[in-house]
Structure 1
Amino acid sequence: MTTTIVKATRRSVVAGVAAGLGLMIGGFTLAGTALAQEVDLAKAKSEGKVVWYTSTPIEQANKLARMFEEQTGIKVELFRSGGSAILRRFNQEASAGRVAADVLTTSDPAASNVMTEQGLFVAFKPKDFDKIPAEAKDPNGNWIGQRLNLITIYMRGDKIPAADRPAKWTDLTDAKYDGKLVMTDPSFTSLQLSVVGTLSQKLGWDYYKKLADNDVMVVQGNQQVSDNLKRGERLIAVGALDSYAAEDRKDGHDIVTVYPADGTFVIPSPTAVVKGSPNPNAAKAFAEFMISPAAQKVFPADGGYSARSDIDPPAGSPKVSELTILPVDYAALEKNAAKIKDQFNDLFR
């Protein structure tokens, strides 16, 4: 079981924020340049539950929910789906004037920035806010990165010889990969929307036309990509969430990751406290728990990346600073999201 790393120029996508001073002033803790707000745990416990809408992989979501319940006695009601599906449900409820979710976690910083502008979130800077790099949070605390998502190319190492493995995104249009590729649907997962929106801008839609000509299979989400490779129906994952590859390696599958020489995607998963939610104190307690060391260590243990600057990457994986990063224009992405999905659908359906 090997992980292939395509070496790239060192460039950091995230930089640590100054450490907290740890001084108490009127119920607030000085944390770097920002004041960390206290959580009223007694009120949170009296509310008794927190409703969490999330696109976090289901096993991780359940693990985090159990940890929080064990620590606090507060029940977590979990609704889990793909990022785009989560946002659709949340926005439909908001449009109807109904707030059901207390905490929202997606993988769409663009949408989270828009919802921040719309005033849908509570500005909240919990303990350890300063441990989350500036690039992975809203400066006022309207959303905070739960984890970092690395979007890579990964494949069956036992089926694709080293000499035939793609090293860049553009390699995937080669005819030798015809019928071997699988990718997620940007209409279902917002991570793929970031990938398609960025690569179609960088390489042109002709790039995706060539992928379509290579008979790419399109599935709903990242779990389906992983299952597809393990069954051997397709052999190469195109722009998929790498924590699934790491988990499959841990389970004994020969999965090889390539961090593309022309750039890896590093996308934070925003967590936000919803304004006007039924359980506002439990929501803050859960949001604070989400960036605690115990919760954040769950991600590298499962092969993913913590959002905290003081927690190491998963064993055997590179630091973010060792990769070439493809920047994502989130403002342009949100503006053009519908058009990107339509153009993708025209090519692949």
Structure 2
Amino acid sequence: MKRLKKVDNILTVAQHNNLVRSDLAFTHLEAKVFTKLLETIPKDAQKLGEVNIKISDVIGTGGSGKMYKLLHEAVKSLDKRRINLLKVDAGPYDYDSCGLFDNMEMKVGQNLIRGEWGRKIQPYLIQLKKGFTLGELEILLKLKSGHSYKLYWLLRSYESLTRYEDSIDNLKTILVKQEEGKPDKYTQWNDFKRYVLEPAVAEVKEVSAEAGNPLTFNMELLKSGKKVIGVRFTDIKSANSRKKISEGAQLSPAESGKLLPKYEGKKETAYNRLTLTYGLSPEQASEVVDKVPQEELWPVMKQLNLDIVTNKLHERRQPPVTAGAWSMTLLKKHFGHLLKWAAKESSEQGKLAL
């Protein structure tokens, strides 16, 4: 059995969970370039500007013409990449897109890739106080597919909750980069399972174990009748990160976020439903579970299940609203006097009448 690495030798990079859990999927080379660029960010950075990395740090020395062409395409793709970073309570017609980079260039003769981080993306990369995830550099740089890379980040972001559940369609959007103008490769569940999910799961477990910090988890398929509709990951944990967090050794001054609370019994069930099914953020769900008495909360939870899961009333409104918006409005109606976030809702949600 391989020994776990010493905690203080682990090098990490950080992203806000909103970025980790977005539809920002990568090819293998894009993931490697992105990771090397993340590595250049100082942990105490106040602002991001121009960043430079060596081409040889991405593809080694003596690369073939084909490899340089692939790297050229990866850099070009990252330069054009825009992502949707809407908040959990955004309306279905809201739009908030931002670019990863303001500009990028590749100078083969100078062994150089140069870029400038986009202005709107910076709050998701620096001065992270809470709601962020650390990725271990050794693992990230050894993963050989963009699917594995994104799955590793995704599961690490849910490690404090120990579980993550999503629909097949949403998971595919997160893991698979959709090429513009090209048809979806994985319209069939069996194809997605065979070529994306199962290889990514196997590689994440193998590479993290080889690095001395195994990321372990269980995976369960969710079905409606015989049809697979979702995936549930449980018991997500990596040995060293648990130890580092408990000892306070993992968190730098720029990474000293609060850990999400653990619950048991009905509180755990309520928390998981509020976040995974009813669209609340972890912080909002924690406040509900902590402040609302269980005997008062569960009748409202049953109403949410009827509205959102059974009848999908939020989707039938004109215009439709998100599950999170519907849930927040109903919870505010019953428990607004107990919840701080209820007073901070957007004006749009304040107008939503149930």
TM-score where L is the length of structure 1:
0.27
- Work out which structure has the larger RCO, using CA pairs closer than 8 Å and 6 or more positions apart in sequence: 1
TM-score where L is the length of structure 2:
0.26
Structure with the bigger percentage of helix: 2
Larger-Rg structure: 2
